[in-house]
Amino acid sequence: MAVIAAAIGCSGSSSTAHLAGAVTVGGKPIPADANASITFHGSGEGQTVNVPIVDGKYDSPATPRGEVRVYFTVTQEVGPVKKSPRTGADYRDIVDIVPPKYATGVALTVAEDNQQQDFNLD
């Protein structure tokens, strides 16, 4: 569920806007050891921006304006360390902690510059 925390700024003629906010999963912060990113896919060609989520927050200075789909990637290594029989390298299993219902993304309208947009993936 996407919740707009606040919208401030003025609309300009730019095709992008600065968007920032927090992302939680099930109301909890994203684990510190997770690999996380957020992707904004605009309706126009070439209007896709991917930024990291660090300490549960993202900062996207060039988000496409207008109607966008927002996609989340949050993966985490789990379980014991294993050894690859092919390469001998150590590895751990990786799980996606984003609930499946968000696989098709979240609809969002980006209208303002300097917009605060928080996401709780429950």
Helix (H, G, I), strand (E, B) or coil at 101: helix
Domains defined for the chain, CATH in brackets? 2-117 (2.60.40)
Task: Give the span between the Cα atoms of 71 and 25, in whole angstroms.
Answer: 13
- Cβ pair 100, 65 in contact under 8 A: no
| pLDDT given at position 13 | 56
Tell me: the pLDDT tens digits for 65-101? 999 999 999 999 999 999 999 999 999 999 999 999 9
| pLDDT given at position 43 | 85
Full-model pTM: 0.81
Task: Give the span between the Cα atoms of 25 and 15, in whole angstroms.
Answer: 30
Tokens at residue 85, please? Answer: 């029989």
